[in-house]
Amino acid sequence: MGTHLPSTEFDGTAVDDQREADAEAVMGQPPAQMVQLLGPDGKLGFDPVFTEYAEKLTAEALRGLYADMAAIRRFDIEATALQRQGQLALWVPLTGQEAAQIGSGRASQPQDYIFPTYREHGVALTRNVDLAELLRQFRGVSNGGWNPQDTNFHLYTLVLAAQTLHAVGYAMGIQRDQKLAAAEAPGQGKESAGKEAAVIAYFGDGASSEGDVHESMVFASSYNAPVVFFCQNNHWAISVPTNVQTRVPLSNRAKGYGFPGIRVDGNDVIAVHAVTEWALEHARQGKGPVLIEAFTYRVGAHTTADDPTKYRQSAEEDAWRAKDPLLRLEKYLRSEGLADDGFFAKVKSDGDELAAYVRRTTHDLETPDIRSAFANTYAEAHPLVAEELAWFEEYSAGFAGGEEPAGQAGKAGH
């Protein structure tokens, strides 16, 4: 089969990734089946494995999943507005991926440890990270913003795929801690049953092409590490479509490492929750790693510095908006009599309240100082850094009042 590259800027992948299925057929294998429980029409289907997990979700839990998705979408809108108004140096939107993040995050347990990339704002919400604190990094006043030990949610990783290596190393550490505890206190296994921990490593379809992901999966398989690799396939690695990244479904890559790979409808929060719960149980029980490919879509830009109209058609975006994760769960909740107008009005009100809190807190943050970046480059003074700082000071003095132009500090800090 010949190599195909987009012939125009709009020659991307079809919304159902038919090319991937065709490639599977050429190689004599059936297309990867995608786990879906809640369809775009809001009707709940059946799966022989994962329906059992979905049935554990109570009406209250389902309403909670919707409330979480609505809250993080409202937060995303507010953060984007803050960046456009010069309050943040950059923002990484998540709209469209709420189900993948909320469903997987809520399936984890407090003792599990999570390694995010830089877009997992929804997962941060499920781990009780203060969303206003999350913005400190994007304002340029912190290298992190929160203490991972408080929530078992690691700091954002801006270096593509580096967190997958960290996640596997952490999972291998969990293995050794458990073996040591068992050796030091034999016969105590029943008391610790159910408290075993696992790790989730989030990454995108673009990051899946990084060597770090391959190396991580080799180590995870070799050592049977309790880690779940969670790939959010949002179809676009900035401007590169999925079909250029891979010729087959990403979930199939797990076969080469010898552990399970599952493709799930990433806009179906119920299916994502069920699949992630199963995968984490699998890992905690010592059965080894799992790869989950959440088949979703980045509705907005890659970051606020990106313009998606340059590389994809609006018709593609519209097709995916019809699969909106919030809309399909709302249809289900209403049709089953699990939520009424009062509930949805309360969710909207809570979202507006969260947005107001985030805006107020962000405005109260200190103004980032670019000079701190020079001071923190090396532990000791460095002549080249001193020379660059001197140039910057001279440059800044050329403006009225001796200060750099408005917004320059935040931009330079990014």
Asked if residues 153 and 116 have their Cβ atoms less than 8 Å apart, the reply is yes
The per-residue pLDDT for 369 is 81
| Tokens of residue 132, six digits | 């206003």
> Range with the lowest mean pLDDT among 252-261, 263-272, 283-292, 367-376?
367-376
Residue 120: how many CA atoms within 13 Å on its side-chain side?
30
Q: Which of 273, 298, 328, 359 is catalytic?
A: 298
The CA distances from residue 53 to 245, 271, 272, in Å, are 32, 9, 10
First to last CA, the chain: 43
Q: From CA 78, how far away is CA 94, in angstroms rounded?
A: 12
Active-site residue (options: 66, 257, 297, 311): 311
The more confident residue out of 23 and 409 is 23
**Residue 404 clears pLDDT 70, i.e. is over it:** no
Two structure tokens written together for 107: 């399936």
Helices (H), 11-130: 18-26, 51-54, 59-84, 98-107, 121-126
Other C-beta atoms within 10 Å of 160: how many? 18
What is the spatial distance between Cα 183 and Cα 366, in angstroms, rounded to a whole number? Answer: 50
Burial class (CB in 10 A: 0-12, 13-18, 19+), 317: middle
Active site residue 311: yes
What tens digit of pLDDT does each residue of 193-228 get? 557 999 999 999 999 999 999 999 999 999 999 999
Predicted confidence band at 168 (pLDDT cuts at 50, 70, 90)? very high
pLDDT of residue 376: 85
Strands 236-237 and 240-241, bridge-based pairing? antiparallel
Active site annotation includes 257: no
Q: Which residue pairs, CB below 8 angstroms and at least 24 apart, start in 312-321? A: 312/10, 312/12, 312/236, 312/241, 313/10, 313/12, 316/12, 316/15, 319/15, 320/15, 320/96
For the beta carbon of residue 14, count every other beta carbon within 10 angstroms.
14
Instruction: Report how far Cα 132 is from the mean position of its chain's Cα atoms.
Output: 18
**Going by DSSP bridges, is the β-strand pair 34-35/199-204 parallel, antiparallel, or unpaired?**
unpaired
Mind listing the pLDDT tens digit for each residue in 33-90?
Answer: 899 999 999 999 999 999 999 999 999 999 999 999 999 999 999 999 999 999 999 9
The mean pLDDT value for 148-174 works out to 97
Q: How far apart are CA 94 and CA 117, in angstroms?
A: 12
295 vs 194, more confident = 295
d(CA 32, CA 61): 30
Q: Per the CATH hierarchy, to which homologous superfamily does domain 18-364 belong?
A: Thiamin diphosphate (ThDP)-binding fold, Pyr/PP domains (3.40.50.970)
Annotated catalytic residue: which of 74, 154, 282, 302? 302
Helix (H) or strand (E) holding 325: helix 325-335
Residue 188 confidence class, pLDDT cut points 50, 70, 90: low
Whether residue 334 lies in the annotated active site: no
Residue keyed to tokens 């960046």: 83
| Domain boundaries along the sequence of the chain | 18-364, 372-413
Q: Tell me, what's the pLDDT at 215?
A: 98
- The 10s digit of each residue's pLDDT in 2-28 is 333 333 333 444 444 555 555 555 545
pLDDT of 286 > 50? The answer is: yes
**Residues 289 and 217: beta-carbon distance below 8 Å:** yes
